[in-house]
Every structure is written in C-alpha cells, then in structure tokens.
Structure 1
Amino acid sequence: MPTPILDFDALAQAISGRTVLCIGDIMLDEFVYGEVSRISPEAPAPVIAAQRSEIHIGGAGNVARNVAALGARCIFVGLVGADDAGRQLASALAEQGAIESVLVCDPSRPTTRKVRFVSEHFSTHMLRADWEQAQPASDTIETKLIDAILPHIARADIVLLSDYAKGVLTARVIRHTIDAARKLGKPVIVDPKSLNWAIYRGATLLTPNRKEFSEATRSRADTPQSIVDASEDVMRLADCQAILVTQGEHGMTLVPRNGEAVHVPAYPVKVRDVSGAGDTVAAALAVSLATGANWDTALRMASAAAAVAVGKQGTASVGTAELKRRILPHAYLAAEEKIVLERDTLDAQLVEWKSQGQRVGFTNGCFDILHPGHVKVLTAARSACDRLIVGLNSDASVRRLKGTDRPVQDERARAEVLAALEAVDLVVIFDEDTPIDLISRIKPSALIKGGDYTREQVVGHEVVEAAGGNVVLVDILQGFSTTALVHRARGEGK
C-alpha cells in the first residue's frame, strides 16, 4: 500500500503551537577549518593551517536548536560551569528567540567544550580536543536541576531527555522528571546513553543508535528483525511504549510495544558530516509527537530531518523549509515553488531565464474559479513563449474589481491551482487594480490575453511593444465564465 502524502503544512502549523521541554548535557562545539599540506618537523603529525572557525550550541543544546528551527518553542534545562564557555553558551541561547533557557551553574566543573579540527579540502575530521568532566552532578546540583525542571513540565506538551553522559541526567534527575511527566500525562522521549535502561523506566520512547542498542541488549542488532527480537525484553524492563533504533545509512527501525514494527530506509544523500544527526532526529520526533502525530508520521519526519542534517557540515539544525523540500514529492514542490512572494526572487528568475535566451511571456487575471476557458488560454499562452508568468490579482484587488462577495477562493488557493498547471512557470500575486507595474518590471517578450480583448485594451501593451515585445491574442473557449459559474452556484440565474 503506498505511503500517503504527508500534510506537511498542517503538521507545521500544529508544531508552531507546541512546546518541548528539553533536558540534557549542553556543550560548546567549535569547528576549526583549514588546509593540511605538511607534516610537523617536531613530530609525525599533520599541520593544519587554520583559516576559519565556527562555534555552535552542541549536545542537548543542539536538540533545543533543532526544536526551535522546526517551529516549536523549547524550554531548555542544562548545566554549565562558571567559565567563558558557559557564558558563551548562555549568550548564544539568549539569542534564540524560541528557546527559553534555564542553566544551572556548577562552579566546580568546566563547561563541556569540544574543538574539532577539520580539513577544509577533504571535509575530514583530523582531531578533536575535549574539555569536560564526565561525572554525575553532585547531590546539591542534582537538587538544583530537579527544582529547575519540575515547574516547567506542566507548560510543555512533551519532555525530551538528551543524555550525553556528562552528568546532568543522573538516575535521580531522570526518575523525578519521568514520574512528574507521567502524572501530568506528558509523553517522554529519551535519547539514552546509560546501558542500564531500567533508569529510564516509564519513558514513552527510547531512541538509541544501533551501537547503543546492541550494547544494551547484548545483541547483534544488524537487521530489522534482530532488532525486533531483542526489543521485547528491554521494552518490558524500561516499561516504554516503543523503541526507535537509528542505523545511519541503514535507516531506522521502530518497534512499538503493541503493533507491528516499522523500518524506514535512509534517504539516499551525500553525507558531509554526521555530527549532531541524532540530535536532529530526537527533535523531529519530539515536535511531531507533541502534536499527537502517529508513529509513522513522526518516523518519516525524523528520517527526512536526518537526511538534511548529514548533508550539512558541522553541528547543524534543520529548518521547516529544508525539511519540506526533503519530505514532499517533487511534483508537489514543483508547483509550490512556482508561487513567487518576493519581487527579488522574481528578478533573479528573470535574469536567469533571459541569460539563457528564454522568451518570457506574461498574462494575468483573477482566476477565481479555474475553468476550461482559463486552461485553454494558459495553454495557448505557454505555446507563445518559453516561460510563462501569470500575474494574479490579490484578494483585495479582486474585491475592488468584482465586488465584496468575491473572490470565491482566496489568493493562496487560486495561486496553488494555477501553479499546478504544467503550462505555468511562475505565479506572481499583485495588489493593484492592473498589472502595469508588474509588466513594467518583467518587460515580457510576449503579453498574452484572450481574444475577447483588442490590442489597445490590453493593459501594458505600450510598455511591451516599446521594449521590442509583442501582444498575442488567443482564441477563447466560448461558454465559460467565472461570473456565470458563481451565479449558477448561488442559484442566481442559468
């Protein structure tokens, strides 16, 4: 049975109203990029000529960044030291408008910091240097973390524990968090590091990678079926509803406690950097499940998000536009991407087409209810040029021209229907009563209208002809009129 097309826009809208409480080990990720061209005379080690560096919010902080990039709000609770790295992280989080950070400071430990040295030419990690104290938080700091977490659970739609084994998610912190979340009916996702999954007892979903799953279950976990076979006992031990095992280029396998297992193959992509891909998966799952989406939808979102993330360099976050391009069928996107909302985008497309010697045609109208007469004109218009731009009257413009009871469909709906036509290359919405400003901007080679107009009646004919273009009048299909269709539907006439 084919997989149904995901209603991405509806899901994205639902995500925008959700809040994720993310708790875990934050770290400062620094990437130093340069070229390696020689070996050090002091020791048999490559010398990297540093050219640039980037600093990112890493670890569980990258999960929070991805939650925000995907359109949800995030409350983040983490642990930093009283040092420059901690202050940099606090400042960087403060700049993220959709993230509310609650950072507990422990002066006795350094903020976790990782510096990666990367060959720019080969996109290869040469070396990583870590500053960290990977020990459980002290009793005092544990209490501060619990006190910071519990008041926010009621505000969240879902709780996400991102465990990097740096000390935040102690058994006590985990227990207080999961118990409080369950009492309030909040789902809990855990990206685990401990091999003792009993400490995550009561979580909704565990998301280990294949290596973590294999070690925790003492199984090979090299096929979807072997993962299913090894999941039964650990799900009972962890009292969770499902386990999702991520397997890199081999995809993901979800094993629900009740129901059939689902395996999703990985998207075929060129992998640039796997740093932080697990964070992106966890964030995509959290925002999807926060909306009440089912396992299948959440899994598809997570798989697509991972594909986008590994195609980027460094610790990357994934936005909704990138995710939409990855997850939706090309034909759907091809139609949507024809709708131009910014004039700069129109200008760039015109430059590209004209540099290729393409003849650009233009026509316009309200297209309130698309009918065969419209289709005939648009098809004929496309045959008169190489690329056809359709100017579409905005809702306000239609009301002024047709009356307060029009349009029947709003401008976005009308634009989407036009963009779905193969004959149409771009749709540009204009707010004026006539498209003269748009025509002056485009200067099309051909200005096309239906044959019920005369050349002199066509708005913009002087501009087009002065620029060396021509007006093309195409035969219309008799018997079709939007106004007549509207009257007939309202019972106002034949």
Structure 2
Amino acid sequence: MLIDKIQGRRVLVVGDVMLDHYVSGVVERVSPEAPALVVNVTEERSMLGGAANVAANIAALGGQAVLVGVIGQDAGGLQVADLIARQGGAVIDAMVRIPGAPTTQKTRYLGGDRHLLRADRERIGLDAEAKALVSAAVHAHLADCEAVVISDYAKGVACPEVVRTLIVAARRAGIPIVVDPKQADLSIFEGASLLTPNRKEMRLATGEPCEDDASCDAGGARIVALTHSAVLLTRSEKGMRLYRNGHPPWNEAALAKVIRDVSGAGDTVIAACALALAAGAGLPDAAHLANAAAAVAVGKSGTSCVTPQELNHALLHGPDHDLAAGKLAPLATAQDIVAHWRHARARIGFTNGCFDLLHPGHVKLLAAARELCDRLVVGLNTDASVSRLKGPERPIQSELARAEVIGALRSVDLVVLFDEDTPRNLIAALRPEVLVKGADYTVETVVGSDLVLGWGGEVKLVELAPDQSSSRLIARSRLTTTNGGAA
C-alpha cells in the first residue's frame, strides 16, 4: 500500500518559515480608554507555521523533513527552533539564521471562538547574502532527499535565485519537486513536477474566475503550458482536479462530509503529495492520497497534522467514519489537541501502560480514570519500550494494534506513543491535571507524580480487578499450548 511506502521518506522543504502564535481569552467588556475589546488572557500557545507546518505534516505522516528557511536570532526564532526540536528528529533543522532580522510571526488574538485581531511581525524579501546562504543550505541537503517541497508564502525565500537553481539541481538528480505557489508569475516554477494552487491562487496567476469546471480547466491548461508542470487544483468542498499535458483532467470529489476548519489543509495536501512522489507513486495516486489526507485535516479543529493511522482509516472507510485508530496522535499534535481541550476548560487526565492484551482490569482502570477527568490521554509504550521492559518475546501485539484496541474504548480520548522506559517526558509535555494509576502503586512511586503535584494537579490511585494482568494471561496461554490444549 502507498501509505506504507511513504514511511521514512525524506523530503527537503524550502520556503517561508513562520511562527503561529495564539493568544486566547475571555472578552467581557470594552476598554474605557478606546473603543476596543478587552481580552482577559487565559492561554498562549505557539506552533510551526508556513513551510515549517508543511515539515510538521510530513513528520506526522511518517516521513522525515529537512527544513530550510530563514529565521532571526530573536525570541521567535528560538521558539521555532524549540518547536522543531520537539519533533524528535523527524524534522531536521537546516535553517538560516539572520542576525537582526525578525522571525516571521503571526499573533492571533481570540476571544472565545472569535478571531479579534492578527498582528504580524515580518520583513519581506532577502538580501543577496541571505539568498546565497539559503541556496547553500539547499545544495548541502538535496542529495540526501527523495522529494522537494517549495512552500511559498510570498515572504521572499521562494525568489528566482533560490528557486531556479533548486529546480535545475533537483531535475538533474531525478528528484520530484512539488510547489505550493503564492505569487502571480508562476514562470519561476517552470520544470517543477507538480504545482498545488487553490482557486484563489489560480485566479491570481491566470485571471480566470475558477468558479466552475470550464474556467478551472482553462486556468489549469494555461499554467501547464507556462510551467511545463502538472497542476493539482484544490477546490475545497468541490474536491481536486489534476491537469497534465496530454491527459484529460483527472477529478476527485471532496471526501470530507464534515468540515470544521480548513486552516493548514493546503500544507497537508502538499506534504502528502511530496511523500507519495518520493515513494514512486504516479500523480493520480498522489492526488488521491492528498485528497484523503485533506479530508482528515479539515475534520479537525485548528491547524492539525494527520497521522498514518488516520490516513489509512480514511482511505479504507472514509474520513468521517468513527475512527478509533484516529485517537492515536504524535506528541506535537497531541499537545495541540490538549491545548484546545484546555482552552475549553476541560480537565485533562493521564494514565499509561503497555496494554499488550486488553483485559477487564485495563477496562476498569481506564473507565475509572475517565470518571476523574473530562478528557483522558493514554500513554502507550512503543514496541521497543515494551521489549526492554518485558523481554524480547513481548509485545504480543504491535504498537499500532494496541493503539487501535485502546482507542476503541469510549473512555479513551487520545493515545500517544512513548519510546522511553517511563512516560515522564510525555507527562511533562502534556501537563495533565490528574495522573491516574492502579492501587498497586503509591503516590510516591507513580512516575511523574512530582511533576503533576508540582503544578497543582492530583494523583489518583484506583482499585484494580483481581487476578488480571497481561503477563498472567500470556503465561496461562503458553501453558495451555504446551499441554496440548488442556486447561
């Protein structure tokens, strides 16, 4: 399956890196100083934006991204570097840091669900020295990558000096190039493998209204003739339309039936396309994969990444099917989900385990944990972690199988894998209000109890079902097999 073939593919992402900063609060009055709303701030959070969000999407889908862009040596640049580091090696920092330049940052002020104001910090364009440094970073990493993404947000990185040399070098090496364009003159991208404009971007580049198939087809044909590239037009609720020289338009309807938020869906599309092309897929197959990924992305609130499990389930069953496996999320996505829950004043609970064979004791523990919180996150040991803790014959079930079974329980809201022997780092990253373990522990021996108590949370111990454990069940099963089926 293509979903399996994209795992581990390395993609060079070149473009405009941003920091998306959200300031959320409650609006209850108007300022006495001016006709302006007063926001009582309750939460601030930052996440990767622009080309960096494309890189995060590639990482979430199971690939590896090498990220080349420009940031400043300022507080915003430090935050971007920290957010990249949190990707755990799935995003490689190849950023160019410019002294004195501001890191592009968009700060959005939210009152409840209402977007009140956006404040931008940015400098448009690069000087000759910065262009040379970006080109050098590109050429230093290109040979190690299997696809290239040019993520253009019209801030200056996707300039002719960088783009032309990159496309020429990538074509010479036989590496596919996917472009998300934001500028009117698309001739700069001539020779790319695929351009992924939306209707607004196609309208800007061609002058066609792009409101119906005929005008979209005219715009697509013009871009193909100009750039000698294929074009995947994303049309939101109307799906996708692929244009290639010598082929009739390929069309696929939108797969999403529920649309909560289209933020970042374009980044998901280009990430999926790049990984598919890196894996050797044809353009229609890449477009189909991207359409499914976009359907999952728009079904989430806020800018969200898509996991392989979610994508696989969407391909098999459709994105709006009740998705137990979709409860599995990488840490960066889990942090965003938990932040969204916390903004809605939900009490976050956490418990963890190997859950190798699900038994009544597990079900009771998880149900009791869910009673103590509004949202329950389960930390699940990876296969490597289980083997270190339980021995080389464990686990019996793979981490993805265990995640799907745990995710199928109504008491569980989110599943996050951790590769360490303990979930301490995971607890520190998610900061739950309540930490739950079985009564065979004491508060002092629960890993992470000092952290949770330190930020004012609680540690709760719940009674376990007697004579229930995965190890006992596995041992009993092996004994039965050894005795030829006798109990």
TM-score range, shorter chain: 0.5 to 0.7
The within-5 A match list for 1:402-417 is none
Equivalent residue for 1:54, pick from 38, 45, 57:
45
Deviation at 1:198, TM superposition (A): 0.6
2:345 corresponds to which residue? Answer: none
Equivalent residue for 1:112, pick from 101, 104, 118:
104
2:57 corresponds to which residue? Answer: 66
Change (3 A) 1:441 1:59: same
TM-score by length of 2: 0.67
**Rg comparison, structure with higher value:** 1
Distance 1:335 1:311 in 2: 15
| Structure 1 vs Structure 2 CA RMSD | 3.4
2:91 corresponds to which residue? Answer: 99
1:247 corresponds to which residue? Answer: 235
Q: Deviations over 1:409-445 (max 9, x none)?
A: x988xx99xx9xxxxxxxxxxxxxxxxxx995399xx
1:425 corresponds to which residue? Answer: none
1:175 corresponds to which residue? Answer: 164
Equivalent residue for 2:80, pick from 67, 71, 89:
89
Is 1:312–2:300 an aligned residue pair? yes
The within-5 A match list for 1:400-479 is 440-441=467-468, 459=487
Determine if contact 1:23/1:76 at 8 Å carries over to the other structure: yes
Determine if contact 1:29/1:315 at 8 Å carries over to the other structure: no
State the one-letter code of the partner of 2:220. S
Instruction: State the secondary structure of the residue aligned to 2:95.
Output: strand
Deviation at 1:250, TM superposition (A): 2.3
Determine if contact 2:356/2:397 at 8 Å carries over to the other structure: no
Distance 1:349 1:260 in 2: 54
Instruction: State the secondary structure of the residue aligned to 2:296.
Output: helix
Q: Deviations over 1:370-395 (max 9, x none)?
A: xxxxxxxxxxxxxxxxxxxxxxxxx9
Q: Deviations over 1:283-306 (max 9, x none)?
A: 111111111112232222212222
State the one-letter code of the partner of 1:132. E
Instruction: State the secondary structure of the residue aligned to 1:441.
Output: coil
Change (3 A) 1:334 1:235: closer
Determine if contact 1:58/1:315 at 8 Å carries over to the other structure: no
Distance 1:345 1:137 in 2: 56
Deviation at 1:396, TM superposition (A): 7.4
Change (3 A) 1:353 1:145: closer
Q: Deviations over 1:322-356 (max 9, x none)?
A: 2223222279999999xx982485555467999xx
State the one-letter code of the partner of 2:116. M
Change (3 A) 1:312 1:126: farther
Distance 2:40 2:292 in 1: 35
State the one-letter code of the partner of 1:106. I
Q: Where in structure 1 are there 5+ consecutive unaligned residues?
A: 1-6, 355-394, 398-409, 420-437, 444-456, 460-494
Distance 1:318 1:299 in 2: 16
Distance 1:81 1:411 in 2: 46
Determine if contact 2:54/2:268 at 8 Å carries over to the other structure: yes
Change (3 A) 1:274 1:258: same
Equivalent residue for 1:124, pick from 80, 102, 114:
114
Distance 1:62 1:56 in 2: 8
Distance 1:133 1:30 in 2: 17
Bigger mean CA deviation after superposition, 12-21 or 39-48: 39-48
TM-score by length of 1: 0.66
Deviation at 1:104, TM superposition (A): 0.8
Determine if contact 2:256/2:296 at 8 Å carries over to the other structure: no
Equivalent residue for 1:199, pick from 188, 196, 208:
188
Determine if contact 1:12/1:71 at 8 Å carries over to the other structure: no
The within-5 A match list for 1:15-414 is 15-96=6-87, 97-120=89-112, 123-134=113-124, 136-240=125-229, 242-329=230-317, 342-343=355-356, 346=359, 347=361, 349=363
Distance 2:56 2:283 in 1: 23
Percent identity over paired residues: 39
Distance 2:80 2:366 in 1: 42
Distance 2:393 2:307 in 1: 32
State the one-letter code of the partner of 1:51. T
Change (3 A) 1:234 1:62: same
